Structures are given as structure tokens and as C-alpha cells.
Amino acid sequence: MPRRVVVTGVGLISPLGVGTEPTWEALIAGRSGVGAITKFDASTFPVRIAAEVKGFDPQVWLDAKEARKFDLFVQYALAASLMAVENSGLKITPDVADRVAVVLGSGIGGLPLIEENHRTLQEKGPRRVSPFFIPGAIINMCAGLVSIRLGAKGPNMATCTACSTSAHAITDAYLYIRHGYADAAIAGGAEAVIDPLAVAGFASMRALSTRNEEPEKASRPWDRDRDGFVMGEGAGVLVLEELEFALRRGAPILCEVLGIGMTGDAYHITAPCEDGDGAARVMAAALKDAGIAPEQVDYINAHGTSTPHGDRIETVAIKRVFGDHAYKLAVSSTKSATGHLLGAAGGLETGITALVVARDVIPPTLNLDNPDEGCDLDYVPHQARKQTVRVALSNSFGFGGTNACIVLGKWEA
């Protein structure tokens, strides 16, 4: 019999706030985290806006010397993980350390640190490249550093599946617990590439919004005037535990992970299938895994990036899976407020969805002034909504046609 898995802690660092409660409060209040880029001089770039994290001080979690060794995404991952563990009350003592997994990832990883050391190489020569460059930039160091800091000695893994990265980290952690490889897991991801090369690269693809004069209105999923996503940064980490393990220690259970889905489009390196095939199959697979009928779902935290094709196709997929019930459930995109955190998006959004299920408040889709043709579902425009949410889905789709869906359900003792 597969073991049941619950969520006991959430740690969020986002453009809305450093911390879970600041992020949640700003999200429910309908505030936007998008503004002008301040991390570098973007005056000559076609895209001059992003959703930056404000007020993050790595020395709250790392001393100054140690912080300099690691790229910002690793710092974000550590901070969010420590928040999630504190939130859960989990004590990783020697008697349980072997049964605590760490599964964290990043879609792009330490690109800013790579650029910095490349400049050093070009300007000052190979002897001046930092000895901490490689361990400070590699993607799996977010999981490695968290494991070292907390003494978690169970499975230690990193995922890298583009914008599905941290959702896949959570699905992997769920499977480790479900099938007995661990009793608890710290899972999610981090991203920090608001950086000249990354912004230039996404801009050259014409993937980003160019609404430079109205940054807070740039991320507008399903709106007819949407023109691309807004790059964001931050981290989202959850603590998952086997139900009996959590109950024995009196853990604060937020919700239950009912099931997961994973699919591949096998279609295109960046574009989703026009008929929503991959997205539809991943939601259907997650519902089947959870043993949940489509009519039981109350809310979907959509991938909802604010791209012309992606939003429309996700709507098509939802209609394929849910039929008439698609018009009865609530769908919103928190990326309208946070921007798109790339590899960290799934962790942030699954964390938010856990809070939705626990607190019965649905966050709004900002800037949805004029729904596009065919975008006719209940997208919870402009204002948060108090509503009982017993079952919710969180969708994450990535370049290469990789998809993840997580089903969360209300916990009742």
C-alpha cells in the first residue's frame, strides 16, 4: 500500500517578499512584484523590466565569507529551505537524518557567477578565477548545501527540467516518501538569473514582455494584450512528510499530496502542442494517480505565463480534461504578480497552492482586463476570493516539452 504524504512546511522567497507570509499577504492583496531592472544597466535592452527580489540579505543565513562562495540561486535555496523547515518544526536529529531527503533544483543555475568568472579569466588570467567558482555555480549545490547545513543524510538530488524543475523536485520527493526511500523531504527549487546574458537571451527569443513603461501591468495572463512573460527570481521549498511520521511528532499539516503527473510533449523545443496534448495528459495523469474525479477539483494554479500561445493552449488543455466542469472551477495565475521564476516557479506555486488549500483563499490573476478569444474560464480576475478549496492542482510546463502536475487536497484529521 503506497504511503500517504503531507505538506508540513513552506518557505518562499519571491518578488513579493522575503518570506512565506510577506509573499502570501502581498499576493492576496493584489500587489505586483514587477518593476524596472535594477541589477544591471538595462537602458540599451529591449526589455528593461523584471520581477526582482527586494531586501534579501544572505548574511541572515550565511556569514559574509561563506555567502561569497555561492551564486545567488544557492543562497535563495538555502534561505527558503531553512524557512520551510522552521515552519514545519522538523528536527533533523541523528536518529532520523538518514530518512530525510533533499531534492532541490534550478532551471539555469549559476549563470551570473559563470559570467563573473569568465570576465575574470578574460581580464586577469586563469590564476585569478575563484577556486569556489565551480562548486558555487553548479545546480546540485542548492541541494548539497542544504543537506550539509541541516545534516539531512537521505537521498540528495537535484532536478533541472527548465520551468518544470522545482515541480519535478517535489514529485520526486513525493515518490521517495510514498515508496519508502525517505520519511521526510525538503523539496523545491531556486532561480536567480536577472542578468544581462539571460535577459538578452530570452529577449532575443521574443519571449519577454516589452511593456517597459508599465511594468506592474506587464504580466497579464489570458488578457488579449499580453505580449510575453516577465522574468522573476526567488525560491519555493516545501517540507513533505510521510503521514504517520508527521502525526507522531505532532507536525502542523497544511494539506496532503494526493497525486502527481509527469508527461512529455515530444513536439517542439519551446512551443507547447497546439491541441494542449501534453498539458492535458499531465493533468489527467495526476488526477488518475490521486484517484480524484475531475469534478472534485476546485482550483488550478495554472502555469499561466502571459505568453500569447501558452495561455490559450493551457485553457484548451483544461477544457479537454475537465469538460463542462472547466467552467465551474477557479483558475488563476500567480505569475501575474510574481513574474515567471523559471526553474523556481513550480516550487513557489506549489507552496502557494498548499496555502490556498489550507486557508481557503484563492489568489487573483492581475491585469486581466480583456480576456482573449477562447480564454473564457473563471480566472479570478483582479481580486482574491474566499472559497472552500478541497482539491487543487498546480501546473508547471517547461522548454523541451516537459510537464508536471501536483494534486493537493485538504487535510482533515
Query: What is the pLDDT confidence band of residue 38, given thresholds at 50, 70 and 90?
Result: very high
Give me 411's grid cell: 487535510
| Tens-place pLDDT, residues 178-237 | 999 999 999 999 999 999 999 999 999 999 999 999 999 999 999 999 999 999 999 999
Q: Which residues contact 10 (CB under 8 A, 6 or more apart)?
A: 20, 83, 84, 87, 236, 237, 238, 239, 254, 351, 354, 355
Query: Has domain 5-248 been given CATH number 3.40.47.10?
Result: yes
Hey, is 342 helix, strand or coil? Answer: helix
| Beta pairing partners, 232 | 51
Q: Which residues contact 199 (CB under 8 A, 6 or more apart)?
A: 37, 42, 45, 47, 50, 208, 231
Query: What is the pLDDT confidence band of residue 413, given thresholds at 50, 70 and 90?
Result: confident
pLDDT value for 279: 98
Q: What percent of the chain has pLDDT over 90?
A: 99
Rg (CA), the chain: 20
Query: What is the pLDDT confidence band of residue 2, given thresholds at 50, 70 and 90?
Result: confident
Give me 137's grid cell: 555555480
- Among 163, 255, 273, 405, the active-site one is 163
Q: Domain 260-408: what homologous superfamily?
A: Thiolase/Chalcone synthase (3.40.47.10)
| Beta pairing partners, 157 | 103
Hey, is 116 helix, strand or coil? Answer: helix
**Is there a catalytic annotation at residue 163?**
yes
pLDDT value for 246: 98
Give me 122's grid cell: 578574460
Q: Which residues contact 256 (CB under 8 A, 6 or more apart)?
A: 4, 5, 6, 7, 243, 408, 409, 410, 411
Residue-range domain boundaries for the chain: 5-248, 260-408
Q: Is 320 exposed, middle or buried (0-12, 13-18, 19+ CB in 10 A)?
A: middle
